[in-house]
Amino acid sequence: MSGCENARRRAAPSRPRRIWTKESGAGFMPTEQELIAQRYAKLEALRQAGADPFAIHRFDRTHTTAQAVAEITAVEAQTGDQTDWDSIHLPARLCGRLMAKRDQGKAIWADLHDGEGKLQLWVRKDLLGDGFAGFQDLDLGDIIGCEGTLFRTRRGEPSLRVESFVLLAKALRPLPEKWHGLQDTETRYRQRYVDLMVNSEVRELFRKRSRAVSGLRRYLDSQGFLEVETPIMQTLYGGAAARPFITHHNALDMDLYLRIAPELYLKRLLVGGLERVYEIGRMFRNEGVDTRHNPEFTMVEAYQAYTDVEGMMRLTEGMLCALAEAANGSLHCTYRGMKIDLTPPWPRLSLLESVKEVTGVDFGCLGSDAEAQEACRDLDLLEVQDASLAGLLDKAFERYVQPRLVQPTFVVDYPVVISPLAKRKAPGSDLTARFELFVGTEEVANAFSELNDPVDQRQRFEAQVAMRAAGDDEAHPMDEDYLRALEYGLPPAGGMGMGIDRVMMVLCDRPSLREVILFPHLRPEE
């Protein structure tokens, strides 16, 4: 079956349809199906002529567009102001996507885009001869390879004088408009390939993200950390307060959980003697989707033996600075109009003190949920569903303190009840040696001195199990193997986790997590 027939079948029109031909002539205004059919017709003609683009396996280029521009500039640096391009022969073979065509009859100016940039093509009938008509038949979006000589035009545009070209892949669908590009948010996320194709700033953003993660790896490696991989499918989940996704293993006939955090596995590695480990990977949490939450997201977690939450502060500073330097080449950035300076060291702020300062409510003096509800009566926390002491504290902080945390700030002294894996500040204390990092009002990291007392840890798990029985489906399940590992001896250690997507949102000044995730989760079409 030819592609052309395929396209027509998909069109499935309910009325007689016009089929494009060369003879359709003036007045032919195509619908999308007809635009596609036109291109299939061109493809079919090429196949008939023995020039099937999809039969080609490779194209050996000599230059990317960036290299071509660099070479032109280098020659000019040698020849001075009056570079005579007629007497210079700079052969080059380039390939990429045809993104613009300016037809002048016997010559065509065109723009060739590749992974690094673009180069203008000058296509002349007297140089191509019979091949010129073939170039005229190309559509925007077609992927081509070109051979010719490099030069710069009178207007100063680096260009390739094309001597021959070959179609390497036919674009069978029309591209979005050249000037406004693709704006529709939904289409941008659903068809990210089109978004990347036409919106250069989107390409740059994801390059930045890639550079940032590389920079983070380099930093952690340089600090003596070992990158490891732990199970994504787990028989028991833990390490965070969240509901998991459940999947099923057929051969073993058992349900498995997609991890909500790698924490408990990474600390098992500390028990085993790997003293500095980290993992960068995808986490899965079965919860709502909004501008700050995607069901799958990327997190880095790092664990270091023989240090504590203080050590994690220094490590976190180093990690975020490495990310920022790699992404932006700077420790300064702007997020939602806020100017942020990431230069360490960063200040600390007590959770309880900060809430007390802003709201006047001293949660440290409150003993019960009822007392907390009474104390919060004048605060704007009416819709909060979890009206427990911890829930109200959390919400009061989020609503009154967090919006003020523009510059990087370590919020410290989290209560034990919401920190089941963190070490107490001192024996018997209700506070833990923990911090959460806020930058640009966003929470981006969480860290603490790791609880290594198996007896205390068992009691904490039991408390979680009780909360679970009381209806909290985000509380930890009991993990006997983890407790067994602690019984072998976990050295005192610090551990931290940082949301890479959140960090990129801040570093790239994007209004939504979806903007920094290549394929954010969306409901299916139709």
Distance CA 321, CA 346 (A): 12
Distance CA 20, CA 284 (A): 48
Nearer to RNA (CB atom), residue 181 or residue 364: 181
Least distance in angstroms from the C-beta of 514 to RNA: 5
Nearer to RNA (CB atom), residue 240 or residue 485: 240
Nearer to RNA (CB atom), residue 190 or residue 356: 190
Least distance in angstroms from the C-beta of 57 to RNA: 28
Least distance in angstroms from the C-beta of 58 to RNA: 27
Helices and strands (DSSP H and E) totals, the chain? 16, 18
Contacts of 136 (CB under 8 A, 6+ apart): 103, 108
Nearer to RNA (CB atom), residue 38 or residue 64: 38
Nearer to RNA (CB atom), residue 271 or residue 504: 504
Least distance in angstroms from the C-beta of 131 to RNA: 14
| Dihedral sign, Cα of residue 303, residue 421, residue 287, residue 317 | negative
Least distance in angstroms from the C-beta of 391 to RNA: 7
Cβ–Cβ under 8 Å, residues 286 and 521: no
Distance CA 347, CA 406 (A): 12
Least distance in angstroms from the C-beta of 80 to RNA: 19
Buried (b) or exposed (e) across 103-127, using 16+ Cβ within 10 A? eeeeebbbbbbbeebbbbbbbbbeb
Nearer to RNA (CB atom), residue 242 or residue 321: 242
Pairing of β 332-335 and β 338-341 = antiparallel
Written as one letter, the residue type at 510 is R
What distance lies between CA 38 and its chain's CA centroid?
36
Of 239, 237, 107, whose CA–CA distance to 162 is shortest?
107
Nearer to RNA (CB atom), residue 60 or residue 126: 126
Least distance in angstroms from the C-beta of 182 to RNA: 5
